[in-house]
Structure 1
């Protein structure tokens, strides 16, 4: 069989077409640009909050406490939040959650401006943010399907990862500049203003599929346990959720990376920033590859998960910061490609009436377990070995993948 020069070019055009498929719709474009702004603001606020907690306590343990406040509600209330998302008009629900997030950011800015930011205030408002996020996160994920339809979900999720990785560079950079020149008050104010873009988008959007789901009269009212039962009955979803939990530590680099940089690579804050930047830079092509890929398959998820595990384990063995930089770029590329593909697969293989509950369980597994897994990893890094602590996320992901191997067969 002869392959002509036009065939690779044609394949590239198809990939580019798939990548931009979601952006062809006006509604998704409005939502996408709004989320880029909002994600940058949220990360700027996160940097300022962590800095303030360290300044107030001089004890890194309180960062773990803050993590528990911010993500604990997702683990405890995720199934109920998913049921709410499934039976609600997602646009209206997001208008409420985004307004509440804006109110929390505004409260932080005002309290900081008048000098009243104490540790208990930061923890209380972090808990409020966590409670809102428990509903907001699955609603945003399912809202993408309402905007683009099932045919462009892979493109939409991949592009969201592009926005998220861009915000990982934009948000902390703005926070660093504001902390150095103006103080944390302006970081919180920046986040408050960043919600204006998604709020305006939500007001303008009228997605066809975003209305509340009416169940048949003979069916019981949507409940959290129905989502748990549905996930358990589906071998694919049941296999993907532990993989989501294992990958949570990859995106909690604030817990796993500093000990590796300080104790094992013997680099300072500049080295930490360099590795975080390498992760974000590597994640951008990973997100683009996810957006350009055809509909995800279980085999592709399996392959990308193994590649992510290998990249983490090899990075943990880096002898110095110079070897760790390309290693972190590889972790960024493979992990973002993997998580975007797995997220898309979970959404597409879920029944439409269960999609909110499945995405809520996905978030509960990934970020809701972080207070517990993060505490275990930081304890290992502090008391045993930092390389071992960093490698635990790769080991856990590898074990979760092997456990789900049968569920991720090509014919599932």
Structure 2
């Protein structure tokens, strides 16, 4: 029997109602605010730091290197954070980790405001911030399913991505305006305030998940090895983690953007903020659509196809000398990125055995931090060759990786 328009409208209304019911879950709004603040702080920090290092050094390579420091710490230590997430109270782990990040951010803001800041200071503090995130991020991501349950995980992840990208859109735009109007220090005080909100949000998070401390750290490292073996031996998880490593090609984009804003598009710090915000705007729209629809079909396939759309957006941006076209290209890339992020992180929790979720999420956080190598690579290519070539390499590289995943893993393609 065919569906009538009334039936379709009722189903759509029911889907939206079911999605909105997630706000009634105790603690979820606080968790949403906490994780959104972390994403927003990360984006504003990248924007403010990129512009400051470019002013201090006039080097795309150093822009990439400084922004890569947190990622390097996350790359090495996130698997340990995954073990911590499976053994201790995830809410407290996340709370204490975010507090450390907030404190370090106030210190950086003071250095910038006093005029004492040097580019290498940002490298050192970046490593320390990266360590705090590495040990707490797996807990802050894994706790989402503890709060909402498996059946609401896709709605929670899409909403989490929606709100996070609202921050990603607004934050860099505000940051660019602050830098242009009040100077560099103002944006770093904003970053510190954002991270403070992010840490305090975990105070209101409630979960019935209890710590599961078993044995000492020798046992803990054995658990980490178990998580690695489980992830490698499970085809769809292995390829999801390989797909997340593709962010090395997204990282190439980041040190190139301020060069385009300053030298090619000639729009300055304010324009750079809006370019950075356009990515968040696109991701926001995509994640909001997923939330309103109540889910996403063929999430495994969507995680692959979205990469090809991002690559097209990067290529158009590379070729463009028009500010409006560049904003549209980054917006499209951001929309595809929102689909990619929602699908991958929903699958990394729903397709994983409960007792392994923290460890798999730790490996996912580590894989995502391959972005750090992309930051350095992008800056190096932009300095030695050209910013446009860096973007074309980004588009081709990520497309090849997505094509390989499609070809080699039928399990990933079929994941719902």
Shorter-chain-normalised TM-score: which range? 0.7 to 0.9
Q: Report the alpha carbon displacement of residue 79 of structure 1 after superposing the two structures with TM.
A: 1.4
What displacement does 1:406 show?
Answer: 1.8
From 361, 365, 372, the counterpart of 1:359? 361
Alpha-carbon spacing, 1:111–1:2, altered in 2? closer, same or farther (3 Å): closer
Residue 268 of structure 1, aligned match among 266, 269, 278: 266
Take 2:315 and 2:156, find their aligned partners in 1: how far apart are those partners? Answer: 32
* 1-structure distance, mates of 2:90, 2:308: 35
* Cα distance in 2 for residues equivalent to 1:40 and 1:315: 22
Unaligned runs of 5+ in 1: none
Task: Report the secondary structure of 1:20's partner residue.
Answer: helix
The equivalences for 1:90-239 within 5 A come to 90-209=90-209, 211-215=210-214, 220-221=219-220, 223-239=223-239
1:388 maps onto 2:398 in alignment: no
Alignment of 1:324-403 (within 5 A): 324-366=326-368, 368-380=369-381, 383=385, 385-386=389-390, 388-403=392-407
* Mapped contact 1:213–1:353 kept (Cα < 8 A): no
Cα deviation 1:309-368 (Å, max 9, x = unaligned): 1452365157644555444333222221122111101111112221111111111112x2
Q: What is the CA-CA distance between 1:44 and the residue it aligns to?
A: 2.9
SS of match in other structure, 1:117? coil
State the Cα deviation string for residues 87-126 of structure 1 (Å, max 9, x = none).
1101111121011011101211233333321222211101
* CA deviation after TM superposition for structure 1 residue 2, in Å: 3.3
Question: Partners of 1:240 and 1:159 in 2: how far apart?
Answer: 21
Identify the residue that residue 282 of structure 2 maps to in structure 1. 282
- Checking the alignment, whether the CA contact within 8 Å between 1:243 and 1:401 is kept in structure 2 is yes
Q: Quick one: distance in 2 between partners of 1:386 and 1:409?
A: 29
Q: CA deviation at 1:215?
A: 4.9
Give the match for residue 407 of structure 1: 411
1:179 and 1:257 map into 2 onto residues whose CA distance is 16
Tell me, yes or no, if structure 1 residue 316 matches structure 2 residue 315.
yes
Q: Distance in 2 between matches of 1:187 and 1:106?
A: 11
Cα drift, residue 184 of structure 1: 3.0
Query: What is the distance in 2 between the residues matched to 1:378 and 1:182?
Result: 27
Q: What is the Cα deviation at residue 399 of structure 1? A: 2.9
Length-normalised TM-score, structure 2: 0.86
Counterpart in the other structure of 1:240: 240
* Contact persistence 2:232–2:238 (CA under 8 A): yes
Matches of 1:140 and 1:80 in 2, distance apart? 14
Aligned length, in residue pairs: 406
CA distance in structure 2 between the partners assigned to 1:73 and 1:330 by the alignment: 30
> 1: CA distance between counterparts of 2:329 and 2:87?
43
Gaps of 5+ in 2: none
CA distance in 2, matches of 1:38, 1:363: 14
Shift of 1:255: 3.2
Work out the CA distance in 2 between the residues paired with 1:273 and 1:175. Answer: 6
CA distance change for structure 1 residues 247 and 115 in 2, over 3 Å: closer, same or farther? closer
Distance 1:70 1:233, change over 3 A: same
Contact 1:313 1:395 in 2 (8 A): no
CA deviation after TM superposition for structure 1 residue 228, in Å = 0.9
Which is helix-richer, 1 or 2?
2
Distance in 2 of aligned mates of 1:108 and 1:132: 15
Q: Which moved more, 1:58-67 or 1:274-283?
A: 274-283
Find the counterpart in structure 2 of residue 300 from structure 1.
299
CA contact (8 A) 1:21 1:155 kept: no
Provide the C-alpha distance between the structure 2 equivalents of 1:192 and 1:285, rounded to a whole number of angstroms: 27
The whole-number CA distance in structure 2 between the counterparts of 1:258 and 1:404 is 37
Mapping of residues 64-103 of structure 1, within 5 Å: 64-103=64-103
Once the two structures are overlaid, the 10-residue window that deviates more, 17-26 or 354-363, is 17-26
Root mean square deviation of aligned Cα = 3.0
Question: In the alignment, which residue of structure 2 is the partner of 1:45?
Answer: 45
Change (3 A) 1:255 1:49: closer
